[in-house]
Amino acid sequence: MLRRSQDAYGRLIYDHYRGKVSTTEIVERDDGWIAVSGGPSDYFAPFARWPKHHRQAMRWVRGRVLDIGAGAGRASLHLQERGHHVLAIDNSPLAIRTARLRGVRNARLIAIAHVSRRLGEFDTIVMLGNNFGLFGSPGRARPLLARFDRMTSASARIVAEVLDPYDTKQPEHRRYHRRNRARGRLAGQARIRVRYLDLTTPWFDYLFVSRNELRGILRGTRWCIESIIDSQGPTYIAVLCKAQA
């Protein structure tokens, strides 16, 4: 798990929760590209202010829910209010602390790589906030998807937000795609870290894929695309279900 000096994202949202006015999240990519995120207020937005595709995605949620990369607990709180039993997980200690302070009943410090059947059986796995990216790479995604299969019910769904890396006209991103391909990686396999104040996360892989690339990753797993919810930007929601034998 993240040490205190590495928990940049968690400190950002904890500071925002405590009322700090100026909280800026910096995302740095391994080619030197740097961006400022949209701001932590999005992580705390009430349901009525969620993007339309996020609100639509909630219609696909049922039963017991695992919220992966829960952050400040935005989705978990909404689903709790709807009567779902939710387990919120994140690898950020301060994110989990914030989620608990905001009223998430079951929030635990667990990274995606450590989920297992020991957590119980789930009917829906939620991965909003582009959190399909937490798979990191196709090679890492497939065994995790197999694990998700074993820890979910027969009619379970994964509701995951994905960013299509090709939906851009920015030359710096297209150069990065070419760089990745030359290194034998998917074009949208980004290596990034997050900065806030004097805190910096370790470098980690974050996976952005097109719809066709998503289908390729799912090939050979029990998961298939049940529905796609488009947005007005480069992201989309993939609703995955288990293929019936």
Report pTM: 0.96
Residue 245: its pLDDT value, please? 59
Q: How far apart are CA 138 and CA 136, in angstroms?
A: 7
Residue 224: its pLDDT value, please? 97
- Asked whether the beta carbons of 94 and 13 are under 8 A apart, the reply is yes
Would you kindly state where each structural domain of the chain is located, as residue ranges?
4-242
154 pLDDT band, cuts 50/70/90, is very high
Share of the chain above pLDDT 90, in %: 93
Residue 186: its pLDDT value, please? 97
- What does the radius of gyration of the chain's CA atoms come to, in whole angstroms? 17
**CATH superfamily of this structure's domain 4-242:** Vaccinia Virus protein VP39 (3.40.50.150)
Mean of the pLDDT values across residues 57-64?
Answer: 98
39 pLDDT band, cuts 50/70/90, is confident
Mean of the pLDDT values across residues 184-212?
Answer: 97
Residue 141: its pLDDT value, please? 98
Mean of the per-residue pLDDT values for the chain? 96
- Asked whether the beta carbons of 1 and 91 are under 8 A apart, the reply is yes
